[in-house]
Amino acid sequence: MTTPRPDLDAPPAATGARWPQLVVLVAVALNLRPTLASVPPVLDAIQADLGLSATGAGLLTALPVVCMGVFAPVGAALARRVGREAAVACALALVAAGTLVRGLEASALTLYGGTLVAGIGIALGGALLPGVVKAWFPARAGTVTGLYTAGLVTGAMVAAAATVPLMQAFGVGWPAAIAAWGLLAAAALAAWVPVTRRLRAAAGPATPGRVRLPWGSGVAWRVTLYMGSQSLLYYASLTWLSPLFVSAGWTAGRAGLLLGLFSFTQIFSALAVPALADRSGDHRPWVAACVGLATAMLAAFALVPTAAPWLWAALLGLGVGGMFALALTLLVKLASTPAAAARLSGMALLVGYLLAATGPVLAGALFDAVGNYRVPFLVLAAIGVATLALGVSVRPSERV
């Protein structure tokens, strides 16, 4: 039986809301989505250069999501071995290295290989952040979770909107454009290390041990399935929203801006909804509102995509941002200690992201089969209904 490690199983003695810690926490979050979000705006060019099918193109988004599932439990184990802060530094290093590798040449090897390495880093970082929040800001878990969720979606927004303009401004091809985001991760790593040096020293020696995931908990399974299904909706939308409008005659730049708007509005709901749920004491009405809105907008993209695309994208972003922030908030709120948050995160991300990884590939396969985007987006809307039922089934009083 593993001896509990104090710095992982309980909040540290000094956990005030220190601004440097908050800033570097958000900086880490900013770098956990550009590797994924920079690809869809140039997906047509990638497919043309490398001869990829829609299913193969969907794998570019699905591969990091698979990593986010498979390697999520590794985050908790790595934190026990080297400490939370050092583990996050390792995650940032992998994100930076993998993203930069994609710029070496326009080949499937560097593209998929770099994406795999960066995906492992994204997986570790995503699994570690709920435990970091629980340890650093135990009294403000909902608010800080909203802030770092806003960081996640801001990183996705900037990468989606700026990749094509950067490519055009510097006269480079898509490999350099999607690799450039690795420099942002390197900068975050340079900021993270000095800010967390004192915390790493205060943590004491690491205590390796087995990390037990809460497989026997019913509420953990419902949180896990909610995490997976809402993530499936997000990653499928992130991958195929731009190609939907490129196929309708839009330029890649304009479709990228639409994807940027989708990510931009997520910031507001990611910040507001966890705070509102904290104030009301019950997340379920907010889950219903956010997932319901996202589901309605997915149906709108399926049935009347060109009627009001900018409005549809903005509203879809509001729904997706809120439901994602609530999923991350549940990982913190339903756990009693930082270690419990890490274990719940490990399970929820392992199973949830493996489920989510099917979204981009499923939508691409449906497009290959039927030749249009109506069926894929209708299927996503149906998954949205199931997601709503899962989210409202978790009561705020339940604990893992």
Model confidence over 200-209: pLDDT tens digits? Answer: 655 544 545 5
- Nearest residue to 397 (alpha-carbon basis) of 284, 289, 230: 284
The first and second tokens of residue 294, run together, are 């996202």
Asked whether the beta carbons of 99 and 179 are under 8 A apart, the reply is yes
Angle made by CA atoms 221, 317, 115, in degrees to the nearest 5: 70
Residue 327 has φ and ψ, to the nearest 5°, of -60, -45
CB 244: neighbour CB atoms within 10 A? 24
* C-alpha to C-alpha distance for 379 and 339, rounded to whole angstroms: 37
pLDDT band per the 50, 70, 90 thresholds, residue 288: very high
Residues 6 or more apart whose CB falls under 8 angstroms from that of 61 comprise: 36, 39, 40, 235, 238, 239, 360
Residue 79 has pLDDT above 90, yes or no: no
What is the chain's alpha carbon radius of gyration, rounded to the nearest angstrom?
20
Instruction: Note the helical H segments in the chain.
Output: 6-9, 19-30, 34-37, 43-50, 54-70, 72-82, 84-101, 108-136, 141-170, 174-179, 181-202, 218-246, 252-280, 284-303, 309-333, 338-356, 358-370, 374-392
Q: Which fold has domain 17-203+216-392?
A: Growth Hormone; Chain: A; (1.20.1250)
Q: Do 97 and 117 touch, CB atoms closer than 8 A? A: yes
Give the chain's mean pLDDT.
85
* DSSP structure class, residue 282: -
Concatenated DSSP letters of 78-117: HHHHH-HHHHHHHHHHHHHHHHHHTTS-SSHHHHHHHHHH
Q: Do 75 and 85 contact (CB within 8 A), yes or no?
A: no
pLDDT top residue among 104 and 228: 228
pLDDT at 2 over 90: no
Q: How confident is the model at residue 348, as a pLDDT?
A: 87
pLDDT above 60 (res 12): no
pLDDT at residue 291 greater than cutoff 90:
yes
Band (318; pLDDT cuts 50, 70, 90): very high
Greater model confidence, 210 or 236: 236
Q: Which residues contact 311 (CB under 8 A, 6 or more apart)?
A: none
Residue 6 has pLDDT above 70, yes or no: no
Spatial contact of 348 and 220, defined as CB atoms under 8 Å apart: yes
Residue 17: predicted pLDDT = 44
- pLDDT, position 333: 80
Burial pattern 21-43, b for ≥16 Cβ within 10 A else e, equals bbebbbbbbbbbbbbbbbbbbbb
Residues in the chain: 400
The per-residue pLDDT for 375 is 95
SS3 at position 44: helix
Of 191, 38, 57, 169, the closest CA to residue 102 belongs to 38
What's the confidence (pLDDT) of residue 15?
Answer: 40
pLDDT by residue (tens digit) across 89-141?
A: 999 999 999 999 998 888 888 999 999 999 999 989 988 888 888 788 877 77
Report the C-alpha gap between 395 and 49 in whole angstroms.
49
Q: Cα dist. 210→74, 238, 262, 352, 400 in Å? A: 11, 36, 40, 21, 18
The band of 390, judged by pLDDT with boundaries at 50, 70 and 90, is: very high
Report the chain's terminal Cα–Cα distance, integer Å: 19
pLDDT for 89: 95
Average pLDDT over residues 251-276: 86
Ramachandran quadrant class, 83 (left: phi over 0; alpha: psi -120 to 50; beta: rest): left
Confidence of residue 78 (pLDDT cuts 50, 70, 90): confident
Q: State the Cα torsion 77-79-83-88 to the nearest 10°.
A: 140
More confident residue, 379 or 277: 379
Count CB neighbours of 183 within 10 A: 12
What pLDDT score was predicted for residue 393? 92
Residue 264 has pLDDT above 60, yes or no: yes
Summarised one tens digit per residue, pLDDT across range 151-195 is 888 898 888 888 988 888 988 889 999 999 999 999 999 999 998
pLDDT of amino acid 201: 56
**What band does 9 get if pLDDT is binned at 50, 70 and 90?**
very low
The confidence score (pLDDT) of residue 14 equals 39
| Exposed/middle/buried for residue 11 (C-beta within 10 Å: 0-12, 13-18, 19+) | middle
- The tens digit of pLDDT for each residue in 33-72 reads 898 888 888 888 888 888 888 778 878 877 887 888 888 8
For residue 203, what pLDDT is reported?
Answer: 53
What are the boundaries of each domain within the chain? Answer: 17-203+216-392
